[in-house]
Amino acid sequence: MRIIHGTDSFPASARGAALAIGNFDGVHRGHQALIKATRDEAVRLGAPTGAVVFEPHPREYFQPDKPHFRLTPLPLKLRLLERFGVDVAVVLPFDAGLAGLSADGFVARVLVDALAARQVVVGYDFRFGKGRGGDPESLRRAGDALGFGVTIISQVAEAGEIFSSSAIRADLGQAGGGV
């Protein structure tokens, strides 16, 4: 798997990928469903399978004094993404510049200009842009206008339990895991 930090020197060979976007903390079964859908779209398009992750986690950026329990440190997260079939991982530095981009700015500057995404795959609860102003439906509208497809993955659950990083952190906290 090719790992690219930032978008300034994004290689031409990785442009036009099908991209899963998220924090992927835990790379749990919900994330795995997102990655599988991205792989399926990449095969359909004859494109690389990519994942966009944010480092540090946005919560760590916005609440630096509040402890944030990571389920998966970045090096392990990247190894897991590779194991599940990701060809290229884009690690975006979550800093003031990225935090200040509107949802439209993120789409235009990152997804279109820098990455030339052909397909974007996100979870049903994905939020992006300044003030979390973008959601999956606004991303779908932007894709329609700007020429990329959008796949939205529904909740993934088993026996009534939803797979989510927040739920896993809460369960670990109740079990004395030190959240």
Query: For residue 74, is it within any domain?
Result: yes
Question: Which structural domain range is residue 81 located in?
Answer: 2-174
β pairing state of 157-158 and 161-162: antiparallel
Tens-place pLDDT, residues 69-110: 677 899 999 999 999 999 999 999 999 999 999 999 999 999
Query: For residue 179, is it within any domain?
Result: no
Q: Bigger pLDDT: 60 or 118?
A: 118
Query: For residue 15, is it within any domain?
Result: yes
Tens-place pLDDT, residues 155-177: 755 555 654 545 444 444 544 44
Query: For residue 84, is it within any domain?
Result: yes
Domain count, the chain: 1
Q: What is the CATH number of the domain that holds 103?
A: 3.40.50.620
**Residue 84 has what DSSP assignment?**
T
User: Across residues 26-55, what is the average pLDDT?
Assistant: 93
Write out the two tokens for 50. Answer: 């990519």
